[in-house]
Every structure is written in structure tokens, then in C-alpha cells.
Structure 1
Amino acid sequence: MNKSTFFLAINLSIPLASLLISLAAPLRAQIEPPEGSPAPTATTSGGTRPTQTCLKSIPKVSQRLMVLNPSKTIGLTRSDQPTLFVYIPRNEAHALEFSLFDEKKRGLYQTTLSIHNQSGLIRVAFPSDAPKLVQGKNYYWTVAVICNIDDRTEDQIIGGWIQHRTLSEDISRLLPIERIELYARKGFWYDAFSEWAMLHQQQPHHPMVKQAWTNLIEAIGLPTSLLP
């Protein structure tokens, strides 16, 4: 595996003018996702459950380590070096480890990142030297929360399937909120959440941004009580 410095970013610097939402484009109350290609068997996007964990016990949904992608289908992306999103509860972790595998689970790339007890919605972007995804091929990725660098059996691990594919629809004239809905309806979950994250960075309290989050979370089967 190729090891390199990994890039994680929570803050996005996107011009506000490009993110303005027009109230003339109402958001659908619900998103009807496509069936999508089923994920290969014997895999899961849920977290592992070791006896010891550095994730703090909180009696709410926020204690769960989660992937923002349907667990039973392959999430699509238009990008050959996409952005991934995971939800990490409050923790005492030392670092994260990102790994990328091909369809047969052969390792392609691996790197680590110090997170300094960061929690919540975490945006992880492929670094420039990571392998580019080939269109039409399935890949599996994992994020491991490293609780004890000397005992990796305590890691909490989540992951998901991803495929790089071309979107047939022209999105150049769509508003950001419309692109989110289109991406979700077509199964391009990684792009839907990336688009949403840009909006949320600039307009976190806009009701349509909040509704878009609820719609996305409901569509992938996560609790609506999950806050970004």
C-alpha cells in the first residue's frame, strides 16, 4: 500500500455567491433513492465493536460511528478522487486511518491522520497522490478510528463501497439544492453530501439546507435525529 499524508477538512472556502439558494426552487419533502447496485456480500458499513473503545458512551444516536452512504448499495460519484463523509461521535482517539481497496479487497492505498479528538461530521478528501478511481470499477474504503496505537484490535472501523461513474444529466444550470436532490435520486450519494456540505458551510441555518440534510439522512436509512 502507498502511505502518504492524508487530508481532512471540515471547513470549506467556497464563494458565497455560487451557493445562494433560490426559494423559487422548492425542495421535495422526501427523496426517493434508486435501488442501486447491491453491495458485495460479506461486507458492512457499520462500525466494529471491540471490547474497549475510545468513543465516549453517550445514550443517544450520536454515539454511533456512521458512514453517510446506504449500507446495502454501492454509492456512486462523478469524481475520480471523491470526498467521503463519516460521522464520528465524541472520542479520545489518537488518529484515523484511511484505506482504499479494489473489488477483491486488495489494498491500494493507506494513510493516517491526527484528529485531536475531533467529532461530528468529518469530511475526508482523497489526497492528490491517491489512486484515481477508474470508471465502472467498484472500490471499498475504510476509516479506522485508532484508539490505541499499540493495540490495533481496539480500532473502530467503518467503510463503504464506491464507484466512479458519469452522470448523464446536465447539471450546469441547476441550483445547488436541485443538484443535491438529483444526485440522491440517481444514487450519487458522495456528490450529494459534498454539495450539501458546501451549502451548509455558507448557510448553516437556512431552512432549505436543514431540510436537505433531513431528506438525505432519511433516504440512506439513518436516524433523522443525527445532527451535522
Structure 2
Amino acid sequence: MKNIKSISAKRTGFYGTLIALNCMLLGLAHPATAEKPTEESQAANPNYGLPTHRRDGGSRNGNSCVADAENDSLVALIPEKTLGFNASTSPKLFFYVPPVSNQKTLEFVLRNEQDELLYEAFLTTEGQGIMSVEVPADIYSQQLETEQNYHWYLSMICNPQQRSRDIVVEGWMRQEAIDMNAKQELDSADTLEKAELYNQHGFWYDAVSVLAEGHNSNEEQPMIQDKWSELLQSVGLADLASEPFIESELVQN
């Protein structure tokens, strides 16, 4: 009887172990709660699922907004499917403006994720070339927060009475604090080094701004142009690297 009880006890222990293992496997296959996204998974989807539309070209419904509609588009100088990060509290965005039939008004709009209007500005330009739009520092200090996504639009107004004919590009920006080590490197870096550091750390808007501002430097200009071309080529915009910079005039904000 003692042996029978011993065998029975062993069987009970064996089956108990099997049940415990099955529960563990079921738990792995069907976790009770979703895990928090890791940095690696966020890096694999850097746009956070937010849509971008960096190129819009041609006239709509037969209007003559763009002088050469077949070959030219309004283009935002941003990566095609990546949320743009910025460290600056007064970031600049850059756009290629195609040849236009006459002077056009452009509208820049910035909204939060709740679609609330935070900033709006109207600018004029005659094209053709690369223009910048700066988000004022006081907008950031008063209304924008770090680790939040903000939706921007730039519209070329072809007909003020028919805004459905606007040519529009859109994207997202997200302000993040740059880490102390990178900040210390930036403090002692030249223009090219700053652009490279910003790009390495994922701050696209800052990298573009540094190089755009560096075009005024006579000494480094050839090297800056090379880096500018390299940066735009990395996001599929090599065709715009040789376009000149043009001025735009703020008419209302």
C-alpha cells in the first residue's frame, strides 16, 4: 500500500506540473494586459501613425495657380513618413514653392491633437525656391508642450473665394528636450557638426534650420551645400537641393 500511495503521489505531482506549465504557456499566448510600447517599437513606427502629405502639385479644376503644373509641386522639406522632432523653441519649417503665375498668398496653420488652432499666419511670395516659416517662441512657451504632437498645414491659396482649390502640404512636429551630453557637444560644434549631431539624434527640423542659416556663410558655403544636398537626398528630396532660398513676407498672423 505504501508503494501504491507513493506512485499516486508522484502522478499527482506530475499532472500538477503539467497544468501549471499549460497555464504559463496560455498566459504568454494571451497576455491579460498589453505591454507598454518599447523604444524599439516606437522607432519602427516613428510617425506614431500620424499622416503626412509632403508634396501637392498641379492646379485643381483647371485653375492656374502653379505656372508649370506638370513638373512642379508645393513640397514640405520633411521625411516622407516620419514625425519631425525639434529641440528649438522657435522652430523653422522649410518648403519648396514652385513657379507661380503671379504673387500668391500662403496660409500656415498649427493645431494640437484635439484640432484646436494654436497659430495661424499668412505670407506672400512670388516663388520659385525654398522659403521658411518660423513658429514664434511665445507660441511654444505659452501653448505648446514637450512630448506632444502638433499638426501643421501650409496652403497655397489659388482662389480666395474657392479654398477647396488650395494646394496643401501637411505634417507633424513634436518638441523633445535634447539630452545634456548632446547639448554640450552642440555648444562647441560648428555649423556642419551641429547639423550632423541634430540629425543623428533625430531632430530633423533643427538640422535643416542650421544648414539653411549656414548658407549665408562664405567660408563654409561649399561644404554646407554638400551637407544640405546629402540631408535632402537621405529623405528622397535630392531634386530640390540646388533650389535657391527665397524670401517670404508675413502679412498677417
Report the CA distance between 1:150 and its aligned residue.
1.5
Alignment of 1:1-228 (within 5 A): 37-47=46-56, 50-51=60-61, 52-57=63-68, 60=71, 63-91=72-100, 92-115=102-125, 117-127=126-136, 130-132=139-141, 133-168=144-179, 169=182, 170=184, 171-203=186-218, 206-224=221-239, 226-228=241-243
Q: Which has the higher contact order (CA 8 A, sep 6+)?
A: 1
Q: 1:178 to 1:36 in 2, by over 3 A?
A: farther
Contact kept? 1:93, 1:148, Cα under 8 Å: no
TM-score computed with the length of structure 2 as normaliser:
0.68
Contact kept? 1:98, 1:144, Cα under 8 Å: yes
**2: CA distance between counterparts of 1:42 and 1:104?**
15
SS in 1 for 2:213: helix
**2: CA distance between counterparts of 1:120 and 1:165?**
29
Contact kept? 1:203, 1:209, Cα under 8 Å: no
Rg larger for: 2
Q: Which residue of 2 aligns with 1:30?
A: none
Q: Identify, as 1 or 2, the structure richer in helix.
A: 2
**2: CA distance between counterparts of 1:146 and 1:173?**
43
Q: Gaps (5+ residues) in structure 1?
A: 1-33
SS in 1 for 2:228: helix
RMSD of Structure 2 on Structure 1 (CA): 2.4
Partner letter of residue 113 of structure 1?
A: L
SS in 1 for 2:56: coil
Q: Which residue of 2 aligns with 1:16?
A: none
Count of residues paired in the alignment: 192
Contact kept? 1:44, 1:160, Cα under 8 Å: yes
Q: Which residue of 2 aligns with 1:5?
A: none
**2: CA distance between counterparts of 1:37 and 1:137?**
14
Q: 1:43 to 1:172 in 2, by over 3 A?
A: closer
TM-score computed with the length of structure 1 as normaliser:
0.75
Contact kept? 1:140, 1:162, Cα under 8 Å: yes
Partner letter of residue 47 of structure 2?
A: P
**2: CA distance between counterparts of 1:225 and 1:135?**
31
Report the CA distance between 1:45 and its aligned residue.
2.6
Partner letter of residue 106 of structure 1?
A: E
Q: 1:160 to 1:176 in 2, by over 3 A?
A: same
Which deviates more from structure 2 when the two are superposed, residues 147-156 or residues 103-112? 103-112
Report the CA distance between 1:126 and its aligned residue.
1.8
Partner letter of residue 202 of structure 2?
A: G
Report the CA distance between 1:213 and its aligned residue.
1.1
**1: CA distance between counterparts of 2:124 and 2:131?**
13
Contact kept? 1:54, 1:93, Cα under 8 Å: no
SS in 2 for 1:47: strand
Task: Provide, for residues 99-147 of structure 1, a one-character-per-residue CA deviation record: whole Å limited to 9, x for no partner.
Answer: 00112433222221222x1331101112355354311101011111111
